[in-house]
Structure 1
């Protein structure tokens, strides 16, 4: 009996020393590479929202448990704490692998070299060791009622398992709710949500995206406004076209081309004019008569144009919808854009239209806000990007007795660019989030992805530079993101993590 008891005590001591080594090593690794550990926690699908205090709590708890295991008086408490902590770590990995939206990086040290499944098996091994240590420790300590002590140990371990798993589930659900709907400006970067699938040298940096339709991507050219360049989705086959104007002489100044379905449109708000034609012959012969002046316009369908104008009182930006039916009609939606400072610069932004969801989207440049409205201009809701710049940080100077205005200082640009496809809004954010490295922002442009139907932030995707050139513009389809980086046209194919977020209702690739 004494021999068995001595063997049990020896095994308990060995297990305790293994846990001490594990926890001390893990804690010191985290503290020595603290910033890296904090970034990894910020990317965790379970702990993102709580990374600020968990980054200190985890190594602190690991060191505390190691200390308890070294003190005979508190050894039992230390073993139970080690058992509970390993259950939490195991539950964390199981939830990450089976229920989270993406799998983040590992947690540092030598354990970072393991795959997630190997890491789970490693944790389960230590759970078993802790359980064995509890049973052996309590069994050797029991003299009068070993069966009762064994039953108590089983009940204690069962309670620890239930509470540990419950804690991780609550953290997961709470963090997901906070990250998607009340984000504290923490970005999530899944592993490789899009992969480079094609690249073409455009030779010039004067191209812009005119649209994606019927299996081809179209580009216009600022310096050659009637020239159209197109590619297949893989960017392997290119073709060119020249638009022929058949609407008489017009004082064009800023022609922009847009392709929608099998039709193309020329837009120039300074004339103002919108004229369309068929991509079969590229003849611009169908004018939208009665089109008002505009600073930006998006084609909604063959008879409707969504536009922004500043031609009214005080030149304040206003959205409107023009209908080119038998009796042309313009309806202004003055309540959509909200003034903060001057109504001109502070409401400047990007106008978009999701043909798949029939939604109007307006994203402000200088504040963390976007507008979602239905195809008739009725406001659905005012959403927010995940940064904290709620008021435009601009200074406006007025000239010529307040008849003209200009920026008095460089503004803080919050949202530089954006594109929409279906229910997904891709936003190029200029603001650095929590736990983000300066190196990443130097090497890439960050695109934040939102679900406009769920009113939720999903995750972010870096688009890396080519040489010293950054992404300047982009569009999105059901399967790809196409971007212009310097003179290069690039195509990134979406992986399942993005594809599964695109809602299928009424989607078409244009």
Structure 2
């Protein structure tokens, strides 16, 4: 009998020692690298929005549990808190693995080298040890039959387990709603949604992406607009095409070419002309007669385009739709762009069209807003990027008696570049979010991904600098992302965590 009692006493002391060691080590490692700990919490699919206070709360509870387990009179409370904490950790990992939108990197500390499944097993072992210790502790204080101890301890143990699991479930449900639709500027970085695949040195920084056709990337060159260069997605097969076109006396200044199968489009903007061609043989087949002056343009289909012009009060930007076969051909949508300061610089942005969901998208440069409209330019909704800059931060000066306008102070660009593919909007953001690693921002471009059909934020990922730190343009297709960085063409393959978000419709 004494032997059994000694074994129970030693076992209980060992469990106390293991728990105290675990919680003291965990709390200490978090304190010593607190900023990194907050960064990891800020990137968690479950705890992102709670990172500011949970980071401190977890440390305080871990220290408190260790202290309670050291003092004999408070060990019962300490064991129940330890059970609750380890149950929460276990529930967190289980939800993360089976219901989370992605699985983040390891949280560091004592479990840094473990996989998430190993984390879960490790935590469950301590859950079992805590339950065992609760029973042994009760029997040590007041010797009672095992059956009585089991029955009398079952209710508080079960209540602790259920309450702890329910708390994590509620955090998860509320977190998902806030992150996708009421984001407090917290980015989520899944593990490698886009992985580096190949790169090619272009030797000139005047290239841009005309479009993507199948597995081929087609590039244009501002200095030699009649020549196109294309690569396969591995950047091994290179071809040169020449556009068959005689512009005559049209005073082009900066010709731009864009591809939308089965056509390509050639235009400038400094002159109100637009040509459509056959993308199979790269020859011009039609001119869009009656085009207004425009500053930006995207094709909608073979007979219509969306454009941006300065044909408004005081040269303010306005969006419109041009349809070659309709009367009238030009339909200005003056209610789409919303003036904040001058209507010119504050409404400047990126005009896109998603052929996959048949939507026009306009993304502002200087504020956290984008516009989604149908093919006729009718507003569908106004969405927001996850940063908090809702008003353009710039100063505008009037020159030559109000005939010219110029920026009189450095402007804070929010959204620099963008691309669309089906329901996904990819945005190169220049604004650093909460709990983000400064080193990551110094060596990469951060791309935020939004679902246009839901108007929600999905995730973010980095595109790393090459020999250059200038992102010229990028485009996305079903399987890969192509980007021109300085003089480098780089291909990233999209992984399942990102591809599964692309609509099948």
- The answer, yes or no, to whether TM exceeds 0.5 is yes
2-structure distance, mates of 1:131, 1:226: 75
Count matched residues: 505
Are the counterparts in 1 of residues 468 and 485 from structure 2 also a CA contact under 8 Å? Answer: no
**What is the deviation of 1:70?**
0.8
Residue 142 of structure 1, CA deviation: 3.3
1:321-351 deviations in Å (ceiling 9; x for gaps): 0001175611011000000000000000000
- 3-state DSSP of counterpart to 1:493: strand
**Superposition pairs for residues 154-173 of structure 1, below 5 Å?**
154-173=154-173
The residue that corresponds to 1:42 in the other structure is 42
Once the 2 structures are TM-superposed, how far is the Cα of residue 226 of structure 1 from its aligned partner? Answer: 1.5
Aligned counterpart, 2:205: 205
Give TM-score scaled by structure 2 length: 0.97
Shift of 1:367: 0.4
* TM norm structure 1: 0.96
The match for 1:267 is 267
Equivalent residue for 1:77? 77
Aligned ranges 1:450-461 → 2 under 5 Å: 450-461=450-461
* Corresponding residue SS for 2:112: helix
Q: Indicate the SS of the match to 2:290.
A: coil
Q: Are positions 1:347 and 2:347 aligned together?
A: yes
Answer whether contact 2:228 2:243 (CA < 8 A) is retained: yes
Provide the residue aligned with 1:255 in structure 2. Answer: 255
Residue in 2 that maps onto 1:408: 408
Instruction: Show the counterpart of 1:508.
Output: none
Q: Shift of the alpha carbon at 1:139?
A: 2.5
Of stretches 334-343 and 461-470 in structure 1, the one that deviates more from structure 2 is 461-470
Structure 2 residue runs of 5 or longer lacking an equivalent are none
How far apart are the structure 2 equivalents of 1:189 and 1:304? 38
- Is the contact made by 2:318 and 2:337 (CA closer than 8 Å) also made in structure 1? yes
Deviates more, 1:281-290 or 1:491-500: 281-290
Residue pair 1:423, 1:502 contacting (<8 A) in 2 also: yes
Residue 107 (str. 1) matches residue 121 (str. 2): no
Note the aligned Cα RMSD (angstroms).
Answer: 1.5
Deviation (angstroms), 1:3:
4.1
Relative to structure 2, which stretch is displaced further, 330-339 or 212-221?
212-221
1:419 equivalent in structure 2: 419
| Conserved 8 A contact 2:208-2:472 | no
User: Mapping of 1:126-205 within 5 angstroms?
Assistant: 126-143=126-143, 147-205=147-205
| Whole-angstrom CA distance in 1 between matches of 2:159 and 2:61 | 20
Other-structure match for 1:5: 5
Q: Secondary structure at the match of 2:352?
A: strand
Q: Offset at 1:427?
A: 0.4
Instruction: Within 5 Å, give how 1:440-455 maps onto structure 2.
Output: 440-455=440-455
Unaligned runs of 5+ in 1: 506-510
* Secondary structure, aligned partner of 2:37: helix
Change (3 A) 1:80 1:316: same
Equivalent residue for 2:220?
Answer: 220
1:369 matched residue in structure 2? 369
Question: Paired residue for 1:358?
Answer: 358
Quickly say closer, same or farther: Cα 1:256–1:93, change in 2 above 3 A.
same
- Is this contact kept in 2: 1:266–1:276, CA < 8 A? yes
Q: State the distance in 2 between where 1:492 and 1:216 align.
A: 13
Aligned partner of residue 251 in structure 2, secondary structure: coil
Measure, in 1, the Cα distance between the counterparts of 2:208 and 2:144.
84
Residues 245 and 285, structure 1, Cα contact 8 Å, conserved in 2: no
Give the distance between the partners of 1:151 and 1:93, measured in 2 at CA: 29
